[in-house]
């Protein structure tokens, strides 16, 4: 019994030591010992899963209304131009080194520098995992009350994931819940990292049957959902913008570079390969352009201006600071070159009401 107790104490001590070292590494790399930047609660008005109000982890600060960033002044001061950024984790920007290096913040700082006589603020309404469906509910139940003057939407990968998963389930190539970590990983960082890496590296390579799809058929639902979202946004703000989606994966990369660039996307869509993934992203960008044209929304192009490499991307779709900076530059250029946005600023300069 004594030996068993000593063995148990030794194992427990070793586990605690490893966990401590892993959390120190987590702090040094990310500024937090939490297992994740994302801690969620439920928004009672919409039923949406949203960032926990008041949650803090490293550079992440969630305000009292469940949005990343500072508190949002209510009611909106007269004459102020308020931007709302709708989307998912690629808008939330957990990979940025701080709030000041997220692309929504950089866009607003760029506007303040370009138009110092005007006041700007913003709502970062990006939530990890959101598709166009959740973003529409987010707009209607959480964002519209802040009276945004500009609504900007940036997202595609979650809709592509949801749409391809539906086909993969029907084809017997995927099971719901596949690849999701167990609850214990929310509290035990070592377990979370081991589980995540085992899932990623033990996934079948090359042997697994691949999903085949016709891009136009696949994107039909996305086009309908995105159109509804833009129509709802245009009913609430004078300027609505759609931004084409940027990914690290590129057609001119070597096969090895493509596999690396596609790794995190294929973790969520293991039934695809880099070629079909590129087909999907290109098709969803085509839809973004088509919906902007059919609804009269402002289209902001230039997704390939962000180099497809690890310096600019933390994984397949999330930006590092250099990628966020270029993302902000192309959006800022698109806004300042748009007649609808120039007209909005002219009205504010003239003292017109909201």
**Model confidence band, residue 206 (pLDDT cutoffs 50, 70, 90):** very low
Please compute the mean of the pLDDT values over residues 105-115 and round it to a whole number.
Answer: 98
Mean pLDDT of all residues in 310-322: 98
Q: Which of 127, 174, 163, 165 is nearest to 284 (CA)?
A: 163
Reference 316, options 256, 272, 274; nearest CA is 274
Q: What is the mean pLDDT of the chain?
A: 90
Contact 52, 65 (CB under 8 A): no
Percent of the chain with pLDDT over 70: 84
Alpha carbon distance 8, 118 (integer Å): 65
CATH entry 3.30.565.10 includes domain 57-173+208-349:
no
Q: Residue 205: in which H helix or E strand, if any?
A: none
Q: Rounded mean pLDDT of 284-297?
A: 98
What per-residue confidence (pLDDT) applies to 58?
83
């Amino acid at each position: 019994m004594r030996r068993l107790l000593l063995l148990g104490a030794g194992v427990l001590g070793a586990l605690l030591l490893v966990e401590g070292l892993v959390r120190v590494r987590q702090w040094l790399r990310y500024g937090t010992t939490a297992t994740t930047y994302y801690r969620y609660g439920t928004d009672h008005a919409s039923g949406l899963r949203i960032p926990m109000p008041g949650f803090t982890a490293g550079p992440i600060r969630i305000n009292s209304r469940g949005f990343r960033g500072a508190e949002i002044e209510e009611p909106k001061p007269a004459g102020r131009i308020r931007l709302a950024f709708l989307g998912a984790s690629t808008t939330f920007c957990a990979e940025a080194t701080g709030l000041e290096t997220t692309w929504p913040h950089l866009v607003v700082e760029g506007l303040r520098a370009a138009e110092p006589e005007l006041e700007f603020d913003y709502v970062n309404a990006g939530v990890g995992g959101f598709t166009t469906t959740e973003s529409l509910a987010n707009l209607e139940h959480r964002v519209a009350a802040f009276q945004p003057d500009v609504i900007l939407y940036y997202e595609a990968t979650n809709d592509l994931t949801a749409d391809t998963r539906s086909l993969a389930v029907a084809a017997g190539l995927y099971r719901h819940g596949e690849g999701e970590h167990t609850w214990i990983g929310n509290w035990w960082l070592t377990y979370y990292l081991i589980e995540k890496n085992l899932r990623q590296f033990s996934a079948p390579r090359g042997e697994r049957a691949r999903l085949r799809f016709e891009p136009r058929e696949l994107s039909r639902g996305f086009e309908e959902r995105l159109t509804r979202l833009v129509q709802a946004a245009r009913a609430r703000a004078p300027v609505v913008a759609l931004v084409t989606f940027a990914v690290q994966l590129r057609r001119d990369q070597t096969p090895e570079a493509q596999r690396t660039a596609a790794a995190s996307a294929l973790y969520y869509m293991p039934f695809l390969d880099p070629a079909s993934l590129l087909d999907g992203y290109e098709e969803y960008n085509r839809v973004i352009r088509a919906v902007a044209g059919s609804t009269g929304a402002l289209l902001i192009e230039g997704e390939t201006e962000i180099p497809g490499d690890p310096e600019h991307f933390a994984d397949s779709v999330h930006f590092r600071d250099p990628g966020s900076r270029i993302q902000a530059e192309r959006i800022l250029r698109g806004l300042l070159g748009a007649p609808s946005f120039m007209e909005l600023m002219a009205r504010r300069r003239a003292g017109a009401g909201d």
